[in-house]
């Protein structure tokens, strides 16, 4: 009985480990998010670039938002700096390796990299997460992050977290760091625009994405 009880408590902790992203914010930032503003929090964790946490309320359900974001091969169509997003390996029905080609700013060329994306849900199935980690890259040393989609009022709270350790010379220059911080914010803005587009004029595409999400997680 003790073993069963411990297992139940342990798995419940995992199941709800990522719920309540709104509670990570100060009261002031909570109000900003609830009023539709984007909130960005940057944390110095001893890397060249800070850890980015971007929060934004979406006019969609968590399921819809997660379905759109987890359509990995569509990402190069709405993230302007991406010129390639292609699934290269299916590990299991939840996990894929995705090849990306990123056009770097300031005519610095192209960065090719592969990340392992994993789709999951939590909070009794009402919230969704895509987490990622770096598999290989031209120069990038490491990448890890997640996009969480949780119910907030009649919409969804997107909590986007990313920590990149770049490997190119000059990555620590102040204006490059500032550009990296802006890129995280712009990425969330681009996702919001895609969600709004699908909600208003691409309902058939959105329905296919939702059906695929449900099939994957069933």
Gap between the Cα atoms of 164 and 157, Å rounded: 23
Confidence (pTM):
0.89
Q: Which residues pair with 130 in a beta bridge?
A: 119, 147
CA dihedral (130, 131, 136, 141) positive or negative: positive
pLDDT digits over 192-207, tens only? 999 999 999 999 999 9
What class is the 30-217 domain? Answer: alpha beta
Q: How far is CA 98 from CA 72, 118, 122, 136, 143, in A?
A: 7, 11, 23, 11, 13
Query: What per-residue confidence (pLDDT) applies to 11?
Result: 39
Q: What residue segments make up the domains of the chain, in order of their start?
A: 30-217
Query: What per-residue confidence (pLDDT) applies to 132?
Result: 98
Helix axes 174-201, 203-217, angle to 10 degrees: 100
Gap between the Cα atoms of 210 and 188, Å rounded: 20
Residues 157, 55 contacting (CB under 8 angstroms): yes
pLDDT digits over 105-130, tens only? 877 789 999 999 999 999 999 999 99
Kindly give the parts of the chain with pLDDT less than 70: 1-19
Query: What per-residue confidence (pLDDT) applies to 105?
Result: 82
């Amino acid at each position: 009985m003790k073993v069963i009880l411990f297992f139940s408590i342990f798995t419940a902790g995992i199941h709800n480990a990522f719920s309540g992203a709104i509670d990570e914010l100060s009261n002031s930032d909570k109000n900003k998010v609830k009023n539709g503003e984007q909130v960005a929090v940057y944390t110095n964790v001893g890397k060249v670039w800070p850890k980015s946490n971007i929060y934004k309320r979406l006019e969609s359900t968590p399921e819809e938002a997660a379905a759109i974001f987890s359509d990995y091969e569509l990402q190069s169509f709405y993230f302007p700096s991406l010129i390639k997003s292609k699934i290269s390996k299916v590990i299991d029905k939840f996990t894929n390796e995705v090849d990306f080609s990123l056009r770097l700013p300031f005519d610095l060329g192209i960065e090719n990299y592969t990340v392992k994306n994993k789709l999951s849900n939590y909070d009794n199935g009402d919230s969704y997460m895509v987490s990622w980690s770096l598999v290989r890259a031209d120069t990038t040393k490491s990448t890890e992050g997640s996009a969480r989609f949780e119910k907030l009022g009649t919409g969804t709270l997107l909590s986007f977290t990313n920590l990149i350790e770049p490997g190119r010379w000059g990555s620590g220059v102040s204006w490059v760091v500032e550009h990296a911080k802006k890129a995280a914010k712009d990425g969330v803005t681009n996702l919001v625009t895609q969600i709004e587009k699908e909600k208003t004029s691409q309902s058939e595409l959105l329905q296919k994405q939702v059906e695929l999400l449900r099939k994957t997680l069933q």
